[in-house]
Chain A
Amino acid sequence: MELTIKINNTPVQAEPGELLLDVLERQGIRIPTLCHMKGFFPSGACRMCVVENEQTGKLITACSHTVEQGMNIKSHSARVIEARKTIVELLLSNHPDDCLYCVRNGLCDLQDLAREHCITERRISGAKNRHHLDLSSASIVRDPAKCILCGRCVKVCSEVMEVSAIDFINRGSNTVIGPTFNKGLNTSSCINCGQCIMVCPTGALSEKNHFAEIRDALNDPTKTVVVQYAPAISVTLAEEFGMAPGTDINGLLNAALRKIGFDRIFDTTFAADLTIMEESAELIHRIKNHGHLPMITSCCPSWIKYAEEFACDFLPNISSCKSPQQMLGAVLKSYYAEISNTEPENLYVVAIMPCAAKKFEGQREEMTQRGISDIDAVLTTRELANFIRLFGIGMDKLEAETADSPHGVRSSAGKLFGASGGVMEAALRTAYFSVTNTELPQCKIEQVRGCTRRKEATITMGDLTIGVAVVNGLSNAKTLLDEIRNGRDDLHFIEVMACPGGCINGGGQPLHKNPEALKKRMEALYQIDETETIRVSHQNPEVLALYQNFLGTPLGNKSHELLHTSYCQRNVLL
C-alpha cells in the first residue's frame, strides 16, 4: 500500500518504509549529505540532510527518517537552509584553513557545501583541530585535523572490508577517528585498500604521494625510468579529463607517458598474461597432485594482507604467484636489465595502479632481488592524472601510440584483470586449453562476470570438472571462507578482490560521484575483450617469447625464483 506525503506542498506517492532522502531524490530534489552512504545503515550523524516536517514543526534528517502518512516536507525552507548553513559553519569552525595546500582542494565535499551555502565569512570560530599527521603507512596518509567525523571510513572499513582498522576514539569534542591506541596505521590491521579515501568527504585521508621521487628519477641522467600501467587504468583515466566513464584511452595513455619522459612504456597487462600462464599451471598442478585446494588468487595486495592477518589458515591455499605488478617488476630488473645493458640499480620502475595497496606491495621485503626493490614507485590513477596536468599535456591533442616491446603486447584476457571475475575467466581460458588442447568455446564464462558480490560456476574441462567462485569486498570473502571452514568442499579455485567490483573501483581511482561509472568501466573491459584478436594469455607472442628466451616453462626454476613468493602470518593489532 502506498502512502501519500507532501513535498513542498506537492502530493507525492511513496512506499511505506522508504527513506525521505530516496523519495526526495526521486522527485529530482538533491539534499546535501555528508555522513550518508547509499546501501549502508544510516547514522544521521552530520545533520546535513535536515528537512522540515511541517506536521510536527521539527527539523528531521532525511537520510534516517522514513516516510509517514500525511507528512508535509519542506526541503528548502528558510529555516532548513539556515540550519544547514550553520552546520557547515560549525564544521568549518575548527577545520584547518589550508584548502590551498590540501590534496582535496577542488574535490572536497565540505568545500562544495560551503560554496553552495554561500559561506564567505567566518561567523563561528573555535579552537583549531591539532593532530599529528599519520605518515606511518606505506599507502595511506591520515590527517585527523581535517576529519569531520562523518564516520564513512569507519563504516567502509568494518562493513565492506571486515577489517575495522579504525574507529571513533574518545568522546564529545575530543573525538577522533584512528586505529587502536591512536597509533599509526602501520601497526594496525589496515589492508591499504584505500576505500576509506574514496568515501572521505575531505582531505583527512589520501594516498601516500610518490611524486617527488619520480620527478627526481626522471631528471636523473643515470637512471633509465620505465613505467608500467595496470589493466584498469586505460578505462578509468578518461574520467579525470572529462571524458565519459568507460572510455578506453590506452593509446593516449601511452602517448602521454612518453611525453612525460618515461624511457620505456610497458603494459602490466602483459604481466597479467604471464601471471595467468603461471597461475593456471599452478591450479592444474595442485588439482592433479592433491595440493592445497581451493586455490585462491594472489593478485590483490589488500586481500593478501587481510589473509596474513585474519585468514592465516588459508595461506597455503593462496597461489604462490606474485601479482602482475611484481612479476613485471621482477622481469624488468632481471631480464630487461640484462637485454638493455642497464644495471638493475639504475633501472627505475614506476607502476601506475588503480590501487593504494600496490604502494605497500611494492615495498614488501619479499619483492626484492639482492636488496633492490622490483618496483621503485607506484602512482595511483589520480596521481597520474595530476602528473599529466603538471606536464601540460593536452589529452585531446594526442595521437594514440603503442606500448614498447618486449613487454607491451597483451591479450584481452589479461585486460579483464581490472574487473571482478576477470582473473578467474582469464585463468580458466588458459587452464581449459592446457587440459583439453582446444580453446574454450566462445572464450567466455558469463557466470563469473558482473558486479554482484559473489559469483559461482562449475566448469568442465575435458574429464575434469571444477567448482569456482569469485568474491569482491572482503566481507564477502570472509563469508565464503567461513563456509569452507565449515566443511564446504566443492570449490577448486577462488578469486578474491578486496574492492567492490574489482580494480576498476580501486582505492586509487578517480573520485567520482557517478554511480553508473563502475558499470561503464566494466563494460569497457568486456568490450575490449569482444573486439580483439588475441583473447587468451597463452597466445600472447611476447609472453611466449619470454618463456623461450629466458624463463623456460611455467613453474620452472627461473619462474620459481622470480615470479613466485610465499606469505606468513603478520602480527598486527587485530
Chain B
Amino acid sequence: MTTDDELLAGFTDAEEDSLIPILQEIQGRNGYLSAEAIVKVGRCLKVPTSRIYGVATFYNQFRFEPRGKYHIQVCRGTACHVLGSATVLENLEKELKIKAGQTTRDGLFSIEVVACIGACGLAPVICVNTTFHAKVTLDSLKIIIDEYRDAT
C-alpha cells in the first residue's frame, strides 16, 4: 500500500466536494501531484481525471512535478511587481531553462510563482527553500543561483 492509498483510505465516503482538501493533503505529503495520485483520487471520488486536472491547474498552489532540491518561490505581489519581479521571473526561467511550476532535469531547482510572501520591504524578493533573498537584481540572481549550484 502506497502513501497515497493510505491517505485515500481516510476518504472512503468522500464526495466530489472533498477534491481540493484531498489534493492539498497529497501535495503536502509528496510535494506535488503525480499522475498516479490523480488517477487514484479520480477512482476514489468517481470524478474524471480531466476534471481533477482542470481543478488542480486552476489554482497556482498545485504542482505536477516533484520539487527540486532548491525550491525557488518568486514573489509576484504588487510591491515586487512594481520593482520588476516579472523580469526576475523571466530571467530565472531563462537561467534554469524551465518554466514556473517545473523542475530542472537534474532535480536541483524548481520554480513556483507566489502571490505575496509578505516581505514587501525586501521587494523584489525570492525565497529559496526557507531563505529569503532581498532586492534581487539580474546580477544578484545569477550569483544566488551559482552559489546553490556550487553548494552541491
Name A residues whose Cβ lies closer than 8 Å to a Cβ of B.
158, 163-171, 179-182, 188-189, 573-574
With beta carbons under 8 angstroms apart, the residue of A167, A573, A574 that contacts B54 is: A167
- The 8 Å CB contact of B53, one of A158, A171, A181, A574, is A181
Contact A179 B58, beta carbon cutoff 8 Å? no
Task: Mark the stretch among B35-43, B69-77, B137-145 that contacts chain A.
Answer: B35-43
A165–B50 touching, CB < 8 Å: yes
Q: How many A-B residue pairs have CB under 8 A?
A: 46
Q: How far is the CB of A188 from chain B (nearest CB, A)?
A: 7
Lowest 6 CB-CB distances: which A-B pairs, in order? A164-B48, A167-B54, A167-B50, A180-B49, A180-B50, A180-B53
Known: A168-B54, A169-B53. A181 touches B35 (CB 8 A): yes
- On chain A, the residues within 8 Å of B57 by CB distance are 169-171
Given A181-B35, A573-B39, decide whether A171 and B58 contact each other with a Cβ distance below 8 A. Answer: yes
Q: Can you name 22 A-B pairs with beta carbons within 8 Å? A: A163-B48, A164-B48, A164-B51, A167-B48, A168-B54, A168-B58, A169-B53, A171-B58, A171-B59, A180-B48, A180-B49, A181-B35, A182-B53, A189-B48, A573-B39, A573-B49, A573-B50, A574-B39, A574-B42, A574-B43, A574-B48, A574-B49
Which residues of B42-67 have CB atoms within 8 Å of chain A's CB atoms? Answer: 42-43, 48-54, 57-59, 64
Smallest Cβ-Cβ distance to A172: which chain B residue: B58
Complex CA gap A155/B151 in Å reads 51
Q: Closest A residue to B64 by CB, please name it.
A: A181
Closest approach, in angstroms, between the C-beta of B8 and any C-beta of chain A? 16
Not counting A170-B58, A171-B58, A574-B43, a sample of 16 additional A-B residue pairs whose C-beta atoms are within 8 angstroms of each other reads A158-B48, A164-B48, A167-B51, A168-B54, A168-B58, A169-B53, A169-B57, A170-B57, A171-B59, A180-B38, A180-B50, A180-B52, A180-B53, A189-B48, A573-B49, A574-B42
Chain B positions within 8 Å of A163 at CB level: 48
Q: Which residues of the other chain, B, contact A574 by a CB distance below 8 angstroms? A: 39, 42-43, 48-49
Evaluate whether A188 and B50 lie within 8 angstroms (CB atoms) in the complex, with A180-B38, A181-B64 already known: yes
CB nearest neighbor in B for A164: B48
In the complex, which of the residues A170, A182, A573 has the most CB atoms of chain B within 10 Å of its own CB atom? A573
Return the chain A residue nearest B53 by Cβ: A180
**B96 shortest CB reach to chain A, Å:** 20
Tell me, rounded to whole Å, the shortest Cβ–Cβ distance linking A540 to chain B: 43
User: Distance in Å from the Cβ of A541 to the closest Cβ of chain B?
Assistant: 49
B13: shortest Cβ distance to chain A, in Å? 19
Closest residue of chain B to A180 (Cβ to Cβ) is: B49
Say how far B53's CB is from chain A's closest CB, in angstroms. 5
Chain B min CB distance to A313 (Å): 15
CB distance from B12 to the nearest CB of A (A): 19
In angstroms, Cα B64 to Cα A166, docked, is 18
Nearest CB of chain A from residue B106's CB, rounded to whole Å: 23
Report whether B49 and A169 are in contact in the complex, using a CB–CB cutoff of 8 Å.
no
Q: How far is the CA of A182 from the CA of B48 in the complex (A)?
A: 14
Minimal beta-carbon separation of A90 from chain B (angstroms): 22
The CA-CA distance from A189 to B42 in the complex, in Å, is: 13
In the bound complex, do residue A164 and residue B50 qualify as a contact, i.e. CB atoms below 8 Å apart?
yes
Give Cα distance in the complex from A182 to B50, angstroms: 9
B11-51 contact mask (Cβ, 8 Å, vs A): 1 or 0: 00000000000000000000000010011001100001111
User: Inside 8 A of A164's CB, which chain B residues have their CB?
Assistant: 48, 50-51
Q: Tell me, rounded to whole Å, the shortest Cβ–Cβ distance linking A158 to chain B.
A: 8
The chain B residue sitting closest to A165, CB to CB, is: B50
Q: Which residues of B contact A171 (CB under 8 A)?
A: 57-59
- Give the nearest-CB partner of B51 in chain A: A167
Nearest-neighbor residue (CB-CB) of A190 within chain B: B50
Chain B: minimal CB distance from A186 (Å): 14
Determine the residue in chain A with the shortest Cβ distance to B50. A167
CB distance from A256 to the nearest CB of B (A): 40
- In the assembly, what is the distance between CA of A189 and CA of B52, in Å? 14
Rounded to whole angstroms, the CA-CA distance of A181 and B33 in the bound complex is 11
In the bound complex, CA of A496 to CA of B80 (Å): 58
A179 to chain B, nearest CB (A): 6
CA distance A158 to B52 in the complex (A): 14
Contacts of A180 in B (CB 8 A): 38, 48-50, 52-53
Please measure, in the bound complex, the distance between the C-alpha atom of A188 and the C-alpha atom of B35, giving whole angstroms: 13
Q: Which residues of B contact A181 (CB under 8 A)?
A: 35, 38, 53, 64
C-alpha spacing A180/B59, complex, angstroms: 16
What is the chain B residue whose CB lies nearest that of A179? Answer: B50
In the bound assembly, the distance between CA atoms of A163 and B39 in angstroms comes to 15
Question: Nearest CB to that of B38 among chain A residues?
Answer: A180
Which A residues are in CB contact (< 8 Å) with B51? 164, 167
When chains A and B are docked, how far (Å) is the Cα of A158 from the Cα of B58?
A: 19
Task: Kindly report which residue of chain B lies nearest to residue A189, judged by CB atoms.
Answer: B48
- Is B58 within 8 A of A166, CB to CB? no
Q: Which residues of A contact B35 (CB under 8 A)?
A: 181
CB closest residue in chain B, given A188 = B50
Q: How far is the CA of A170 from the CA of B42 in the complex (A)?
A: 18
Asked if residues B54 and A169 are in contact (CB atoms below 8 Å), the reply is: yes
In the complex, residue of chain B having the shortest beta-carbon distance to the beta carbon of A166: B50
Find chain B residues with CB under 8 A from A179 CB.
50
Taken together as a complex, chains A and B put the C-alpha atoms of A265 and B51 apart, in Å, by: 45
Min CB distance, A219 to chain B, in Å?
Answer: 42
Q: Which of B35, B39, B42, B53 has the most CB of A within 10 A?
A: B53
Question: Smallest Cβ distance from B47 to chain A, in angstroms?
Answer: 9
Q: Smallest distance from the beta carbon of A239 to chain B beta carbons, Å?
A: 33
**Can you name the residue of chain A whose Cβ is closest to the Cβ of B46?**
A574
Q: How far is the CA of A170 from the CA of B56 in the complex (A)?
A: 8
Q: In the complex the two chains form, what is the Cα distance from A164 to B47 in whole Å?
A: 9
Q: Inside 8 A of A166's CB, which chain B residues have their CB? A: 50
Chain A residues positioned under 8 Å from B53 (CB to CB): 167, 169, 180-182
Closest beta carbon of chain B to A337's beta carbon, Å = 43
Within the complex, the shortest CB–CB distance from B84 to chain A, in Å, comes to 21
Cα separation A166 to B49 with both chains bound (whole Å): 9
Chain B residues with CB under 8 A of A188: 50
- State in angstroms the CA–CA spacing of A167 and B19 once bound together: 16
Complex CA gap A165/B50 in Å reads: 6
A177 to chain B, nearest CB (A): 9
Distance between Cα atoms of A397 and B31 in the complex (Å): 69
Contacts of A573 on B, CB cut-off 8 Å?
39, 49-50
| CB of A309 to closest CB in B, whole Å | 11
Q: Which of B52, B54, B59, B64: most chain A Cβ within 10 A?
A: B54
Chain B residues with Cβ below 8 Å from A170 are 57-58
A179 to B50: give the CA distance in the assembly, Å.
6
Give the docked Cα–Cα distance between A573 and B51 (Å). Answer: 11
Task: Write the chain B residue with the least CB distance to A178.
Answer: B50
Inside 8 A of B43's CB, which chain A residues have their CB?
Answer: 574
**Contacting residues, chain B, for A169 (C-beta < 8 A):** 53-54, 57
